[in-house]
Chains A and B, each alone.
Chain A
């Protein structure tokens, strides 16, 4: 699977852009969007910002919402079924990358 992630750091970037990463996951293996973001952060790009503090990972706190292929989903719960997963901030109040106010 590939993950295409919205990147924007308002302190340095003029325009947002997207980074695409190849993941060692296959459709049907049950990886959540959060598993994918964690994989990117730990293995491919530690500068990625997504909601990661105070995160329950069990669909309780509901703070990890992002837009996945156009729909707002909880990253910890949503399992994408598509080969390419586009992840964007859930609203336009972007703090950095996928983190919003």
Chain B
């Protein structure tokens, strides 16, 4: 039996869990209000999570940029109201309007501040009209670290939060596990801000290995309600060549008007999206939904390319392609990437690959972002006193589909969560008396896995989880597929009770870390599958083969899961409406509804503006 002694005990006012944009802005906001703050991060603060995977830009509304911040190149016609209404419609009306209002009203200030951090860090973001800044993931990381340099906050890095601690109904801290030395740490805190990002249950990856739903599942176990977990955003992802598999490079291509392409299924037949939706591909990130509707369908129907995606066939001439790649190479310098590279992709080699493959490239759809998560209000409160949530791990703003920036979500919610948590602890009386006993129990539960024998390994469990998710919870779902997934997830949960660890020492034991993460990924997946089965319609990022229509009569409601006496209880409620009316209660063709509502916040200018200007 391993030594079950807690390695150390730390005390803080506010514990922020997560080292990305939401965590950093929450910590800085609370620190500025004079609070004692600790950031706990599974990786390095400002160099981890989905934050550093950013594809290329973020934005504020043009009115604020032009009038409030005096940026003359900004377009004031890209108004605050337009952004507000777009988030509502692009979310298929499922977002809570007060939370959307908070996003729109409060984001310009924090977005601008982050651009100032970037400037002072020596990596100024590149501004384009209407009010967009272009930059790389590393630059965002540098900007956040600059913010922390100016407002220093205590950090605990490469430590993963394992479980929340409670004093009755209230949060009283958390238990963490040091990935490098295996030490367990008890953290006493009056409040916790969860900023841990989303979760990805599928086999094709395009983001950081951090994204395992730790915060979402932990909050759920501590009594927090989760909502709208069935909505998952997928993004075009490189399948070949092998060395850059997982790159989101294809997005650079589709958003850029210099490239023209058509998509082919596995039989070489052209996949023809709705013409209007195809035409706005370079203008709005709504194109991600278009890719899922059409390309995702071909893949879900088993008509994918040999590598399980679709094949992009470029229709440009050789000269045009050379020119388009030259443009990308030039842009890579502007956004402080390694010149000639888009993250892992050597652009010259990619051009060469296309030349050698008849200008064809197989691309898949990888899970980029989790829309669902911990249900929050417009102040980042959860239903658990002392627990606040911000960024991708939360749910409230984006409804059934996200088009606006997740980067802005993390910053604006993180900042607000830091303020709300600070206000909360003014009057909170939290007793840490029972923390040690709870922490001990959590630690013993994890260490007992070393005693297991002959069971499934963490590596096998991960493959099993991904196989079930690929088959049942992918782009297009069905009653039959979801029933199967729910059953198989339950069986996997049972098998994981006897998860067997071969690596027997505590120093950097990835099997133990993976077993912790997998439990969380599985919990999130199980809840998503139950909600997806209940939703007998197609809405936003949830598409059903068996219920292809959007049903505003019966399903314009959110699903909320709460753990009650060890069982999942699902309730439903209407989204909170303030000033934008919900659509008529009727069933409609899914694509007709998108067109009728004129969806698609035109937010991709930052990716391609200079390409357009040059031509």
* Interface, chain A (partner B; CB < 8 A): 9-12, 29-32, 35, 41-43, 45-50, 52-61, 63, 76-77, 79, 95-97, 99, 101
Contact = CB atoms under 8 A, between A and B. Distances in A.
A61 B158 CA distance: 13
Interface stretch (B313-321, B371-379, B397-405, B500-508): B500-508
A71 B344 CA distance: 19
Grouping DSSP codes into helix (H, G, I), strand (E, B) and loop, the A interface class, with mixed when no group exceeds half, is loop
A61 B242 contact: no
Q: Name the residue in B246, B459, B509 with the highest tally of chain A Cβ atoms < 10 Å from its Cβ.
A: B459
Interface in B158-207: 158, 160, 179-181, 205, 207
B243 A54 contact: no
A45 B511 CA distance: 11
A53 B510 contact: yes
Task: Give the 8 A-B residue pairs with the shortest CB-CB distance, closest first.
Answer: A54-B43, A30-B242, A47-B503, A59-B344, A30-B243, A11-B505, A99-B508, A47-B502
B302 interface: no
Nearest to B458: A46
Contact of A53 (B42, B242, B246): B42
Contact of A47 (B179, B181, B338, B511): B511
B209 interface: yes
B395 interface: no
A29 B341 contact: no
Contact of A54 (B42, B344, B504): B42
A58 B343 contact: yes
Interface stretch (B47-55, B62-70, B147-155): B47-55
B207 to A, nearest CB: 8
A45 B564 CA distance: 40
A54 B138 contact: no
Nearest to B42: A54
A54 B208 contact: yes
B343 A60 contact: yes
Contacts of A79: 243
Given A30-B241, A60-B137, A11 B48 contact: no
The DSSP consensus for interface residues of chain B is: loop
A87 to B, nearest CB: 15
Contact of B343 (A31, A41, A47, A59): A59
Contacts of B137: 56, 60
B457 interface: yes
A41 B209 CA distance: 15
Contacts of A30: 241-243
Interface in B10-58: 42-44, 47-49, 52-53
Given A47-B502, A63-B44, A57 B209 contact: yes
A49 B458 CA distance: 13
Contacts of A41: 459, 510
A63 B242 CA distance: 20
30 contacts: A11-B506, A12-B504, A12-B505, A41-B459, A41-B510, A42-B459, A42-B463, A47-B503, A47-B504, A48-B503, A49-B503, A50-B510, A52-B209, A53-B43, A53-B158, A54-B48, A54-B49, A54-B208, A56-B53, A56-B137, A57-B205, A57-B209, A57-B344, A58-B247, A59-B344, A60-B138, A63-B47, A95-B508, A97-B508, A101-B180
B343 A96 contact: no
B230 interface: no
A58 B246 contact: yes
Interface string B478-506: 00000000000000000000000011111
A39 B292 CA distance: 29
B209 A53 contact: yes
Given A9-B507, A61-B43, A46 B457 contact: yes
Given A49-B510, A56-B52, A9 B505 contact: yes
